Amino acid sequence: MKTNDTSWQKVSKWYGGIVGEKGHYFHQAVIIPKSLILLELKKDSKLIDIACGQGVFARSLDPQIEYLGVDKANGLILEAKKRDRNNKHKYIVADATKNIPVREVFDRGVIILALQNIKEPEKAIEQASQRLSKGAKFLIVLNHPSFRIPRQSSWEDDKQQKLQYRRVNRYMSPLEIPINVHPGEENSPVTWSYHRPLENYSKMLFENGFYIEKIEEWTSEKHSEGKNAKQENRAREEFPMFMAILAIKK
């Protein structure tokens, strides 16, 4: 198998530097703590992390929890292994949309800020279903599919009403969107984002043996200062950055 056939292999070093040891701001302030609450992990839990990147979620777990991280980008897996010395944690290079080459079954599964970077998300969900036991919790965290669509959503100002609001140009259509890693630079590496409306994720989960137990929408914890602080802070509170879908394997 070609393990570097992914846009993320080309930017693995850059991405590792951005995320670091404990994750970027939103990992630390929002995503990881809220994900841990939803997962209700136990000391004997076994967790599979699909499209794990450089393993930032693994380093937030109780050290007794068995963990498997799977990612297609060899550079990210190498970085994960370098940062993680827990002998209960394993990492493999594998395409999450094809057969994940492990026999174990898990009672927890996550895909955190990664499903929107996978061209065929339904196949990744199918693989998760095959590796999860009956009753297992499966958590998907996304950039909010309604309000955070690359190139098709943006902040706008209504100066008359003194409001900041979110403009959305497209939503129902599936989209394949190129993302320049270093905007403005010549020959910048490109990664890809794949937008799907929420109903698509619901359908994918249902067709692969899951039911949705809970959906949460997470806002930014940041606060503005200055003359526009009131409207900017209100807008952050009204338009969430992330969506978390907690599903249960039937």
Beta bridge partners, 168, equal: 153
User: Is residue 201 predicted with pLDDT exceeding 80?
Assistant: yes
Place of tokens 């693995």: 12
Mean pLDDT across 107-128: 97
For the chain, give the percent of residues with pLDDT over 90. Answer: 80
CA atoms of 42 and 62, how far apart (whole Å) = 9
| Poorest-pLDDT segment among 4-18, 121-135, 185-199 | 4-18
Which residues fall within 8 angstroms of residue 240, CB to CB, at 6 or more apart? 144, 147, 217, 218, 219
- Which domains can be identified in the chain, with CATH numbers? 12-146+178-227+241-249 (3.40.50.150)
For 43-63, write each residue's pLDDT tens digit: 999 999 999 999 999 999 999
Q: What is the pLDDT of residue 179?
A: 86
For 171-186, write each residue's pLDDT tens digit: 999 999 998 876 767 6
Report yes or no on whether pTM surpasses 0.75: yes
Q: How confident is the model at residue 3 (pLDDT cuts 50, 70, 90)?
A: very low
Query: Is 134 within 8 Å of 75 (Cβ atoms)?
Result: no
**Which tokens belong to 132?**
């999860």
